[in-house]
Amino acid sequence: MTQSPPPADMTLQRSSREPGTMAAALTAWLTTVLPPDADPEVVVHDGIQTNGMSSETVLLAVTSTEDGERHTREYVARVAPAAEDLPVFPSYRLTDQYDAMRLAGELAGIPVPQVRLNEPTGDVLGTPFFLMERLDGAVPPDVLPYTFGDNWLYDADATEQQRLERGSVDVLARLHQIPDAARTFGFLDPAVTGHAGETVLARNLAKTRAWYQYALDAPEGSPRSPLIERGLAWLETNLPATEEAVLVWGDSRIGNIMYRDFTPVAVLDWEMASLGPREMDLAWMVFAHRVFQEIAAMLELPGMPDFLTAESVAATYAELTGVEPGDLTWYQVHAAVNWGCVFLRTSARQIHFGEIERPDDPEAVFHHRPLFERLLEEVGA
């Protein structure tokens, strides 16, 4: 089966909030949490941003009095979406993201933005949020995908691209080497949110199945996805027998890392953080690149076929950690199923905001459809 190429503008509306109202609410809140003489003022830059596929990312400046002088500092607010805006995920545990970032930085030296204030109640903006420092750097573009060419990563020489790949794998290596992750990050075990299974991997798969059901339960309903259901059936039948539980970043794409001189300086977007086998992160990083490479090839573009291959990622990871990753096939199918859930929810959001018409074929919105189909054929699903 074939798939139409993605539109030139894949930007999605994420929120119905009004920036001016947000600025006023944040100013009032900061007045209660900063020192009495701080006299804070908040300016929201460029409205509500559309980075990422899930939480609202709001860029803002906070001016306040410190030691008798006025200072302006730049922050990013990560805000859980409102229910009426059709969230991608069934729940948004912002405090878990806040703590995962904080601990990853403290325990493994992962370059994460310094997290500042956490507002878990939802009383200020209607949903929970936290503030973190705003950093500068370059992110491999999603729109249009970096594999299409004419961007800083594609135009880099092979040595620079290899430095970026190695640094990105090193982030995963350092995360996965945090000792006693099951205890330290127990709050990320899918069991905490009610997903049952004998192993943490089984519980992650149960979480994926529940996410698919959530996608089907969109306000106006969503047709079932045969691809996702074939994938889930195969995953359940072929579940690897592992009890490994390391800190899994989850959305381990290079598009969620900020770089300077091709070196990671900020690891972002922790909404999918969990406990699980290390292969979950490695396969996701490989699969995410494969999706963009497939789209480039479909458009008869050269792409970056030798970048972030499963073989090179596994070899680099083994060199950095001394641990040989297991076969990534099961985990790439799992990634494909999860990507399908993402696309079902984001397309529902586009329909909700009037950006697209409801497609007759629900899998027409799967930008990874040809790759998903081929993976299922290869494993006999």
Question: pLDDT-derived band of residue 47, with 50, 70 and 90 as boundaries?
Answer: very low
Q: Which two tokens stand for residue 71?
A: 């200072």
Query: Phi and psi of 332, rounded to 5°?
Result: -70, -35
- Active-site residue identified among 96, 99, 251, 281: 251
Q: Which two tokens stand for residue 119?
A: 């507002």
Q: Would residue 99 show up in a list of annotated catalytic residues for this protein?
A: no
- How far apart are the C-alpha atoms of 199 and 207, rounded to whole Å? 12
SS3 of residue 363 by DSSP: helix
Question: pLDDT-derived band of residue 221, with 50, 70 and 90 as boundaries?
Answer: low
15, pLDDT greater than 70: no
* Other CB atoms within 10 A of residue 300 CB: 7
DSSP string of 261-322, one letter each residue: TTEEEEE---TT-EEE-THHHHHHHHHHHHHHHHHHHHTT----TTSS-HHHHHHHHHHHHS
Taking only the tens place, the pLDDT of each residue in 366-381 is: 999 999 999 999 999 9
Which pLDDT belongs to residue 163?
Answer: 98
1, pLDDT greater than 50: no
Residue ranges and CATH numbers for the domains of the chain are 19-133 (3.30.200.20), 146-379 (3.90.1200.10)
